[in-house]
Every structure is written in structure tokens, then in C-alpha cells.
Amino acid sequence: MKRSDLQHKARQYINGRWETGVTTGISRNPSDTGEVVAEYARADRSQAERAIRAAADAFASWSHSTPQRRADALDQIGSEILARKDELGLLLAREEGKPLPEAVAEAARAGQIFKFFAGEALRSPGETVASLRPGVQVDVTREPVGVVGLITPWNFPYAIPAWKIAPALAFGNSVVFKPSELVPACGWALAEIISRAALPAGAFNLLMGSGREVGQAIVEHPAVDALSFTGSVPVGERLLQAGAARRARLQLEMGGKNPLVVMADADLERAVECALQGAFFSAGQRCTASSRLIVESSVHDSFVARLRQRMAALKVGHALEPGIEIGPVVDGPQLQRNLDAVQAAREEGAEHVWGGDLLQRASPGHYMSPALFLAQPEHRVARDEIFGPVACVLRADDYEHALQLANDTPFGLCAGICTRSLAHATHFRRHAKVGMTMVNLPTAGVDYHVPFGGRKASSYGPREQGRQAAEFYTVTKTGYMQA
């Protein structure tokens, strides 16, 4: 097959119809930048306006559809994604650069998420409560919020949209979805599957285009009742200001600078694997990545030596090449930010242990070796989210010091500890100021049927995923009645 045969033509999906855009954009393969993966239609403000209006109109019927209808639609979407996971995974690997097996697994995860929320659609949450007054009945029911704007990043182009779109539709909301400009074909492929489910026209809309134009139009529109965003801290902060000013319901998932504590009593081999996996897989492009490795003094040197040895053996290369463990980073600007962070770490006096170099491979791509530094807590490499394969090690005197270092960050997404001590594990789970804790596991890698989210600068609003997703995608109504 010629490369041009593999090029996708991605269009907007507005009010049940496929539309071209005013302009077009392209996405490229980060493993081989000469390869155009998709040519996609870029929406403008007037298309965004029409999509939002269509969603508002569709809300009347979709919000009153039966749970069975919603469950069937989501189940159908989930089944098709699962049946096509290899093809979808290939597209993801080409467009985002995730190694193929991981990309296929992400596609499957998206299918499972739709299946999970098909079940949740049938379990409409609510409760009946005894009233304080005789003869009065009280019930608390949940209703859909309205039109939800879903703005997503590039690092999980199927899973993150799935864990926003599926609960939104399951509870009867209508959706305006804007994927990242870097992964339009993945967003379009998902929309193409959703378009075949029996949804009313306008209940689901896809808008591709720039954050500043199309994203902003969604954020500012008064008919968009709720906004769920995953992405960078600065954009999230802007959304918070603009959304709150017009009283939109908000859910923001932003950065992380997640600690993995390694205690002297840990199984060191396992701790090294947790660190390697958590810090460098997916090229460090996960908000749950372990970018701060906090190691108790007595095992510090042997941990670093073993980790360095494992890093040196990591296979970095083209996302479709068998055996590759780490693909390219997503694009040129991200690669440059990573290399700048490596340079800044050297300049601020962090001790370089391994990597951080530009790599040449057979195809021109955004390749770099994973980097490790020994840092001080005040170093920027230990404080700023880099979102690349760059991690640092901080030395801790004892458990209390390790916990203090773990919490010494503006972020609070997740935190891990490797230890054989039940006392330390239990204390850490209770005292880490985060939304998710991991014991003897990498910080990255979560289940889809339980809440996901953090504290402090990492997250704002109710949690995503699991049964708790209903908190954001429904509003509570309290009903009192006397017969």
C-alpha cells in the first residue's frame, strides 16, 4: 500500500452531517515526519456556533431518551471500537507516536470505557430518603446538565475523549467534542464510530481546529452548560476564569509532578521497574508520570546505578517497529521543550546521570534518549512539569523526609511508594496530598471503573471516570411530595 492510501481525510461532524472546514490542516507521523497521517477540516467560529446550537436543540430529545436507548448506543460504540482496536491502534501509533502494542491497548481501553458507561446508563443514580415531616416523601434524583464542551489533549487520543464522551452521553447530555490539533484523525475515527450509533442528530458533534479559535468559542458560549478539559495548566487556568465568569460547570485535569518514593526496605528490582515504567514509558507524556524519584539514602546509589543500567538498555525508536519500548515525543516544539529542560537542569547544577540526547533513527522523527538527573528539591527539574522522558532523583534521609519531599509540589495528581513496610505504606496512603496513591506500582497506569483526578494545581472540579463521573455529568434535584 502506498503511503498516500493511508492518509485520512477527516471532516467535522455537525448536527448529524459531515462537513468540510473553511481551512484544512495536516497531522504528521512523529516517528517519520515526512509522512502525513491526515488532512483535516479546521472549523471556524461559525461552525462552532452551529455545532453548539445543534447540541442544544438535540438535548430536548436525548435528555429524555430511555436508559435502554442510551445503553444500547454506548454498547454499540464500545463493541465497534473493540472489534477495530488493531486498526485504531495503528492510527494512534502513527499520529501520536505511541508504540503499537500500547496504542492498540489504548484503543481497547476506550471500547471498555464505552461498555462500562453503557451499564451506568441503566443505573440512573438517585435515592429516596425519609422526610423529617410525617407523610412527606423525599427523593434525590439526577438529571443531565445540558450541552457539555469536551476539550482534550493529544497524549491519550482515544482514552481521554472516551472517558468524557461516554459518561456525558450515558447520562443524557449532548456533546461538542474538540480533540487536540495534533491528533485530529484519532478524534475523527472515534467520531466516525459514534456517528453510526442511534443518537439524534446534534447529540454528538466533532469540531477540529485550534484551541484559540474553536476551543475558545466552546468555552465562551453561553449555551455550553459544562466544560470538561484535560491539558496544560495555563490553558486550564484560562478556562477556569472564563468558565467561572459565566457560571459554567467545570472539570479540569491538568499537570502533575508525581513522586515515587523508594524506601530502603523496598524490593529494589521492582522499584527500579516501577520507576522506569512510570517515568519514561509513553515518552514521559502522561500526567501520571513519575518525574520525581525520592529515594532513601541507604539505597540511593544502588537504585540509581540499577536504573541507569535499565535506561541504557531501553529501545527508543519508530512506534511501529517491533520491540520498541519508547517512541518519539509528539512533535518538534515538545522535543525542543524537553531538550531545553535537560539543558536547564545541567545549568542549574543537577547532576547528569544518563540520557537527554537527541537520537537519530532510520526515519526522521522526534527521538530523544530518556534523561535522569540527581537534583535538589529547589531545582526546576524537580519542580516544573516537563511532560517528556526526563526524571530526577531526590535523596531522602528517612520516611518523614521522603513524605515531606513528596508533598513539596504545587501539583497533587498521584504519588507512589515502594516499600515492604505496612506501616509506611498505610501512612503514605493517608498523608500523600494527591488524588491517587500507588503502593509497589508505577504511578502511571489506572483502572477505568474508579475515580481519576488530583488535588491542588492538578485538578479542579469533580472526579472523572467510574461511578463518580455522575457528579459532573448530572445535576441533583431534590423532590418533596405529600400524597
Is 274 one of the annotated active-site residues of the chain?
no
Which residue shows C-alpha cell 498521584? 414
List the interface residues with ligand TXE, window 346-385 (CB under 6 A).
Answer: 385
Catalytic residue among 186, 274, 287, 418: 287
Q: Which of residues 297-336 bind ligand TXE (CB under 6 A)?
A: 334
Return the residue of 45, 53, 84, 238 that touches ligand TXE, per CB under 6 A: 238
Contact assessment for residue 442 and residue 416, using Cβ atoms and an 8 Å cutoff: yes
- Rounded distance between C-alpha atoms, residue 41 and residue 206, angstroms: 11
Residue closer to ligand TXE (CB basis): 186 or 307: 186
Residue 149 interacts with ligand TXE (CB under 6 A)?
A: no
CB nearer to ligand TXE: give 255 or 355. 255
Of 239, 376, 210, 371, which Cα lies nearest the Cα of 294? 376
Q: How many CB atoms lie within 10 A of CB 5?
A: 6
Q: In what order do the strands lie in the sheet with 474-482?
A: 126-130, 136-144, 474-482
Helix axis angle, 85-96 to 100-122, nearest 10°: 120
Kindly report the CA angle at 145 between 11 and 113, in degrees rounded to 5? 60
Of 214 and 261, nearer to ligand TXE (C-beta) is 214
Counting beta carbons within 10 angstroms of the beta carbon of residue 444, is it exposed (0 to 12), middle (13 to 18) or buried (19 or more)?
Answer: buried
Nearer to ligand TXE, 72 or 384 (CB): 384
By CB under 6 A, residue 211 contacts ligand TXE: yes
**Residue 287 interacting with ligand TXE (CB under 6 A):** yes
CA distances from residue 214 to 149, 359, 387 in whole angstroms, order as listed = 11, 35, 24
8 A C-beta contact, residue 134 and residue 22: no
- 180 near ligand TXE (CB under 6 A): yes
Q: CA 416, CA 291: separation in Å to the nearest integer?
A: 11
**Minimum CB separation from ligand TXE for residue 160, in Å?**
8
Residue 232 interacts with ligand TXE (CB under 6 A): yes or no: yes
Binding segment (CB under 6 A) for ligand TXE, from list 28-36, 97-105, 229-237, 436-444: 229-237
With CB under 6 A as the contact rule, which of the stretches 98-106, 147-155, 186-194, 441-449 interacts with ligand TXE? 147-155
User: Per the residue annotation, which of 120, 253, 296, 385 is the catalytic one?
Assistant: 253
Least spacing, CB of residue 183 vs ligand TXE, in Å: 9
Q: Considering only CA atoms, which of 259, 346, 336, 326 is closest in space to residue 296?
A: 259
Closest CA to 189 of 2, 54, 13, 55: 13
Would residue 287 show up in a list of annotated catalytic residues for this protein? yes
Nearer to ligand TXE, 11 or 178 (CB): 178
Q: CB 180 → ligand TXE: shortest distance, Å?
A: 4
Distance of CA 382 to the CA centre of its chain: 22
CB of 426 to ligand TXE, least distance (A): 28
**In the numeric block, which cell numbers belong to residue 60?**
430536548
Q: Give yes or no for residue 69 binding ligand TXE (CB under 6 A).
A: no
Q: Is 387 in the site for ligand TXE (CB under 6 A)?
A: yes
Least Å from the CB of residue 151 to ligand TXE = 5
DSSP H helical segments within 126-280, as ranges?
159-170, 184-195, 216-220, 233-245, 268-280
| Residue 230 touching ligand TXE (CB under 6 A) | yes
Scanning residues 396 to 425, which ones bind ligand TXE (CB under 6 A)? Answer: none
Residue given cell 509506611 in the structure block: 424
Hey, what's the cell of 64?
Answer: 429524555
Give the separation between CA 221 and CA 213, rounded to whole angstroms: 12
Residues 151-170 interacting with ligand TXE (rule: CB under 6 A): 151-155
> Could you tell me if 57 and 49 are in contact, meaning their C-beta atoms sit under 8 angstroms apart?
no
Pick 230 or 290: Cβ nearer ligand TXE? 230
Residues annotated as part of the active site:
253, 287
Residues that bind ligand TXE (CB under 6 A): 151-155, 178, 180-181, 211-212, 215-216, 219, 230-232, 235, 238, 254-255, 287, 334, 385, 387
